[in-house]
Amino acid sequence: MSCDKFEPLIALYIENDLAQAEAQAVESHLAVCDACRKFGAEMRVSQEALKVLRTEFVDDAVLLQVRTEVLSAASHRQRVVAWPRYAIAAGLMVALLAGWMWQMRPRARLELRPIAASVSAPPLAATVPVPQQRTRLARVRRHRPQAAPVFKSEPLVVKMITDDPQVVIYWLVDQNGG
């Protein structure tokens, strides 16, 4: 093996980075090669110079500055991260409350009777002309209170206005639709 091939191995050998067999091969070569021994000695010197960095000094103020920045950013991040969680929790609470209120809502049992069915009474046909009758019937429907509950105990009263202001027809409808 030529010296060029030994150079990378020597660079590892000086820091005990070789397996035993490789280290023995390097030692055997160094024993007979002056140039490689010199190379190895120079490598040791440059490695010592490199390790000067291990004694490098950093001011405590610099470390404190880094730490302060990190802790400040971390605590800010924690607040930002926590915000959506609170929002989701609040949303769930509102949804639960709304569901509960929906379940508890008062349920009125009102029976609404279709007024139109009650109003299709024949008596008008005799006294009122047909087109006008339709108009009046329509008006009657409009004047009725909307969706008024019809209670079983009271009769339904329908007031019909004719063209003659002196003639007003009242129509009472009993609970059985009579």
Binding site for other proteins (CB under 8 A): 7-9, 11-12, 15, 17, 42-43, 45-47, 49-59, 62-75, 77-78
Instruction: Kindly tell me which of 14 and 128 has the beta carbon lying closer to other proteins.
Output: 14
Which is closer to other proteins, CB of 26 or CB of 173? Answer: 26
Query: Which residue is associated with the tokens 């929002």?
Result: 87
Token pair for 130: 């047909």
How far apart are CB 1 and other proteins at their closest, in Å?
Answer: 15
Measured from the CB of residue 146, what is the shortest distance to other proteins in angstroms? Answer: 60
- To other proteins, the closest distance from the beta carbon of 104 in angstroms equals 38
Both tokens of 138, joined, read 């329509």
- Cβ(30)–Cβ(37) below 8 Å: yes
H or E stretch covering 96: helix 60-103
Which of residues 38 and 159 has its CB atom nearest to other proteins in the complex? 38
Give the closest residue to 6 by CA, choosing from 14, 176, 159, 73: 14
